[in-house]
Amino acid sequence: MATLKEVAKKAGVSITTVSRVINGSSKVNGETRERVQKAMIQLDYQPNRVAQRLRASSGQSKLLGLIIPDIQNQFYSNIVRGIEDVTYGHDYAVILCNSDENPNKERFYLEVLKSESVDGIILPPIHQFGEEIESIIELGIPIVCVDRKLMRKKVDTVVIGNEKGGYDAVSHLIEQGHKKIAILTSSLQFSSFDERQKGYERALKENGIEIDKRLIKEGDPRSSETARELTDELLSLDSPPSAIFATNNLMTLGVLESVNKHGMQIPDDISIVGFDDLPWAKAISPPLTTIKQPAYEMGQKAAELFFQRVENPSREPEVVIMEPKLIVRESTAKLVNAQVKDTE
Amino acid sequence: MATLKEVAKKAGVSITTVSRVINGSSKVNGETRERVQKAMIQLDYQPNRVAQRLRASSGQSKLLGLIIPDIQNQFYSNIVRGIEDVTYGHDYAVILCNSDENPNKERFYLEVLKSESVDGIILPPIHQFGEEIESIIELGIPIVCVDRKLMRKKVDTVVIGNEKGGYDAVSHLIEQGHKKIAILTSSLQFSSFDERQKGYERALKENGIEIDKRLIKEGDPRSSETARELTDELLSLDSPPSAIFATNNLMTLGVLESVNKHGMQIPDDISIVGFDDLPWAKAISPPLTTIKQPAYEMGQKAAELFFQRVENPSREPEVVIMEPKLIVRESTAKLVNAQVKDTE
DNA sequence: GTGAAAGCGCTAACAG
DNA sequence: CTGTTAGCGCTTTCAC
C-alpha cells in the first residue's frame, strides 16, 4: 500500500503538498497538482484512514459506532441498514456491536468505541439511566439514541410513539368486538415496552373494559420461546382471551406457534396483532395485522441527527418521534358471519 | 482520555515501562508494576486502539472487516452474529459493510477496509472470479469466504453442500409423490444458487422425471416481490406444479404470498419447501418444510478460520463444507387418502 | 506556492 | 529491569 511519502517522491514534491492535493485545502499550483494526481493514480494511492484518525481531532475520524441488542432481531437489522445507507454517502465506516441487553457488554463496547476514536455512537440504551453513556456524552462524543430514550440527559433521539402504537393495536381489537384482550410484553424495563403497555391500558380504560392482570404476561422480548409458553398459559385459562397483542416481532412468533399448536384458527378462534411489520407478516396465512415501525427510516434519521451534530456540535439535542402505523390484515378480521374466508 | 504519557508521569516511570505493563511483555519489577497499574486505574486508562493499529504490523490491528450483501437478509445477519460472537472473545472490533450485490460497492468497501488496516475480511464474494479480492489476497490480507466460493484462488472458505441441499429438498418432494416440481432460483450467477439448482436437476433425473424448463424460474434472490410474480406465473400455467422449491428465504416469502393470494391450501393444493430455516418457518401455519443452513455456525467457523490464519499465516487454506439439513414440516405433508392432484 | 518539522499515541529495538 | 529513541502515516502550523 502506497503512502504519502512514496507519492511525494514519485511526484518530486514534499508530502505536505501531496496532503494538500488530497484535502484540496490551500492552493496548489495547477501543474504540481496534476503531477501529484498522476503519481497517486500510478501508485494506486489510498490514504490510510488509521493515520488520519490518529491525527484528526474528534468529528473527523470517519468512524461511527453502533451498539444494538442483537443483529439477529430483524427490527434492529433494519435500523442498522438505515444507518449504514446514510453513512455510506458520508464515507464513514461503521463498527457493529451486539450487547444482548447485557449492561456489561454495553459497557465493554462503549470502551472499545471510545478507544477506537469513533466520531459518535448510535444505540438503543439498555438502561434509561445509563451512567456510562452519560459520561460519554460529557466527554463530548455525540450519542444518538434510537428506539429507546435516555431519561436524565438531553440527547438526540429517534423513537416511535410507542404508547400510541399500543393504543392503536388494542383499540382496533376492541372495534372488532373483542373484550378479553391479552398482552405479551417485556419483563425488562425498556421505555418502549412500558409505553406500549400504557397504550394497551388506556385503550381498555377508555372503552370501559377492566384490566385483568391475568391477561398481562411479561417475558423476555428476545425469546419467542417464552412467548410461546406464556401463550400456552393464556390459552389454558378458564376464560381465555379472544385476542392477543404481542409487543414485538419475536414474541409474535411465539404466539403464532402456540396458537397453531393448539389447532386454533386465526381469526376465527383468536385474533392476533403483532408489533413490527416484517416481511413474513404479510406472507403468512392469514396475513398478520401489525403495528408497523419504520425501522429503516428510524436508522436513517438517527444517522442524519448524528451528522448534523458533527457539523454543529452546539446544536440543541432533538427528539424525533416517528409514527407507528396500524396495518390491518386478516388476522384480526371481524367475524361478521360464521366464516370469513380469505380471498383476494 | 488518558494517554500512556500521563500514566507514565503519574507513576513516575517512562512510557515504555507502562507499555510493558500493559502488554505484559518483558519483565517489570513487581513494585513498579503495581505503581503503574494503580496509575492506570486512577486515570481510567484505556489504550488507544487507533494508535496501536497504526503502529502494529498486520495481524495485530484487532479489527475485522465484513462485507455482506444485505444485513436485512436474516440469513446474513445470522452469519454476522456468529462471527461477532467469536471476535468478541478475541477483543476484536468488526466493521460492517453492505454490498447489495453491487460490485462497485464491494470494491469501494474493500478499499475502505484496506485503508482501515483490518486484519482480515470475511465475505460472500459477489463474483466467483473477483479480481479485487484476489489482489487483496496477494497483498497478504487474510480473506475468508463464507456462503460462496472463490474459484481461482485457494482461500479459507465456509460453505454448505448446496447441491445436496437442493437434492434433498427435491428428493423429499418426489417421495411425497410429486412429479411436477418447480424451482425458484437466482437469475444472478452465485455458486450457491447454481449448485442448488444442480441438486434439483439431479434429483429429478435420478427419479426419471424429465426437466421441464417452464418450471424453472429465475429471479432476483433479494426480492420476494419477483418471487411472488414468478409464482403467479407458475400457478397460471396450463398444468401448474404441485410443489415449489424456493431456494432462499426471501423467495420463499414471495411464494407463500402468491399461494395464499390464490386461495390455495398448503399442502392440500400445493407443497412448498423453503431454504433457510428462519424463526418464522416453524411459527406459520402450516409449518414450513425447509433446508436449514447453519448460518450462525457458518459465521462462527469463518471467524475461527480467520483467527487460525492470524496465528499461522502460512497454513494451507481450508474449505469447510457444512451440512444443510432437511427439516420436514407440514407444508410438504403427504396427502395419503386425498387426491394427489398431481397430473398423472 | 511549497517545504521542514512537530506530533497524534503507541510499540519495539537498542542501550544501559 | 528500565529508559531513550525512532518511527507507523498523516495533518498542520510556521517559515521561506
Q: β-strands B271-275, B243-246: how paired? A: parallel
The answer as to whether A206 is a domain residue is yes
The spacing between the Cα labelled CA in A6 and the C1' in C1, in angstroms, equals 21
Other Cβ atoms closer than 10 A to B26: 7
- Flag the least confident range among B112-116, B185-189, B243-247: B185-189
- pLDDT at position A342, please? 40
The answer as to whether B17 is a domain residue is yes
Q: What is the DSSP letter of A319?
A: E
Q: Which strands make up the sheet holding B271-275, listed edge to edge? A: B216-219, B181-186, B243-246, B271-275, B289-292, B325-327
How far is Cα A308 from Cα A174, in angstroms, rounded to an integer?
42
pLDDT of A338 > 70? The answer is no
**Mean pLDDT over all residues of chain A?**
94
Q: Give how far Cα B157 sits from Cα of B73, B122, B123, B160, Å.
A: 20, 9, 10, 10
- pLDDT at position A242, please? 97
pLDDT of B256 > 80? The answer is yes
First-to-last CA distance in chain A? 60
Cβ distance of B96 and A98 shorter than 8 Å: no
Q: What is the mean pLDDT of residues B296-303?
A: 98
The answer as to whether A191 is a domain residue is yes
pLDDT of B333 > 80? The answer is yes
Does the predicted TM-score (pTM) go above 0.75? yes
Task: Give the list of residues 6+ apart from residue A177 with CB closer than 8 angstroms, or none.
Answer: A334, A335
* Domain count of the fold of chain A: 3
What percent of chain A lies above the pLDDT cut of 90?
A: 89
Chain segment B78-110, per-residue pLDDT in tens? 999 999 999 999 999 999 999 999 999 999 999
For D2, nearest residue by CA–C1' is B17
pLDDT of A286 > 60? The answer is yes
pLDDT of A341 > 70? The answer is no
Compare all CA atoms of chain A with the CA of B255 and give the residue at the minimum distance. Answer: A283
| Best CA proximity match to B128, nearest among B108, B150, B107 | B150
pLDDT band at A301 (very low <50, low <70, confident <90, very high): very high
Angle, vertex CA A303, rays to CA A298 and CA A304, nearest 5: 95
- pLDDT at position B23, please? 86
B194 and B42 Cβ atoms separated by less than 8 Å = no
Chain segment A144-192, per-residue pLDDT in tens? 999 999 999 999 999 999 999 999 999 999 999 999 999 999 998 898 9
Chain segment B318-328, per-residue pLDDT in tens? 999 999 999 99
Q: What is the mean pLDDT of residues B242-253?
A: 98
Angle, vertex CA A52, rays to CA A94 and CA A34, nearest 5: 115
- Flag the least confident range among A116-130, A200-214, A324-338: A324-338
- pLDDT at position A58, please? 80
pLDDT of A135 > 50? The answer is yes
| Best CA proximity match to A307, nearest among A43, A80, A87 | A87
A95 and A133: one domain? yes
A298 and A157: one domain? yes
Which H or E run contains B93?
A: strand B93-98
- pLDDT at position A336, please? 66
Chain segment A96-123, per-residue pLDDT in tens? 999 999 999 999 999 999 999 999 999 9
Domain with A116 in it: what CATH number?
A: 3.40.50.2300
How far is Cα A244 from Cα B182, in angstroms, rounded to an integer?
37
B313 and B142 Cβ atoms separated by less than 8 Å = yes
B48 and B142: one domain? no
- Flag the least confident range among A20-34, A44-58, A248-262, B259-273: A20-34
The answer as to whether A274 is a domain residue is yes
- Amino acid making up residue B219: G
The answer as to whether B46 is a domain residue is yes
How far is Cα B118 from Cα B131, in angstroms, rounded to an integer?
19
B80 and B142: one domain? yes
- pLDDT at position A189, please? 84
The answer as to whether A178 is a domain residue is yes
pLDDT of A297 > 90? The answer is yes
A141 and A247: one domain? no
How far B343 CA lies from chain A's nearest CA (Å)? 25
For C9, nearest residue by CA–C1' is B51
What's the domain range around A22? 4-52
A266 and A299: one domain? no
pLDDT of B339 > 70? The answer is no
B205 and B339: one domain? yes
List all nucleotides in chain D with at least one atom under 7 A from a protein Cβ.
1-5, 7-13
Footprint of strand C on the protein (CB under 7 A): A 12-17, 20, 26-29, 31-33, 51, 54-55; B 1, 3-5, 15-16, 19, 22-23, 25, 47-48, 51-52, 54-56, 60
The answer as to whether A150 is a domain residue is yes
A332 and A251: one domain? yes
pLDDT of B337 > 70? The answer is no
A182 and A233: one domain? yes
A121 and A154 Cβ atoms separated by less than 8 Å = no
Chain segment B24-67, per-residue pLDDT in tens? 877 788 889 999 999 999 999 999 999 999 998 778 899 999 99
A255 and A302: one domain? no
Does residue A55 lie within 7 Å of nucleic acid chain D, judged by its CB?
A: yes
pLDDT band at A344 (very low <50, low <70, confident <90, very high): very low
**Mean pLDDT over all residues of chain B?**
94
Domain with B46 in it: what CATH number?
A: 1.10.260.40
B188 and B300: one domain? no
How far is Cα A287 from Cα B69, in angstroms, rounded to an integer?
28
What percent of chain A lies above the pLDDT cut of 70?
A: 97
- pLDDT at position A340, please? 40
The answer as to whether B58 is a domain residue is no
Would you state the cell numbers that stand for residue B270, as one nine-digit string?
Answer: 400445493
The spacing between the Cα labelled CA in A33 and the C1' in D4, in angstroms, equals 40
A232 and A274: one domain? yes
How far B236 CA lies from chain A's nearest CA (Å)? 16
- Flag the least confident range among A141-145, A326-330, B187-191, B337-341: B337-341
How far is Cα B92 from Cα A198, in angstroms, rounded to an integer?
41
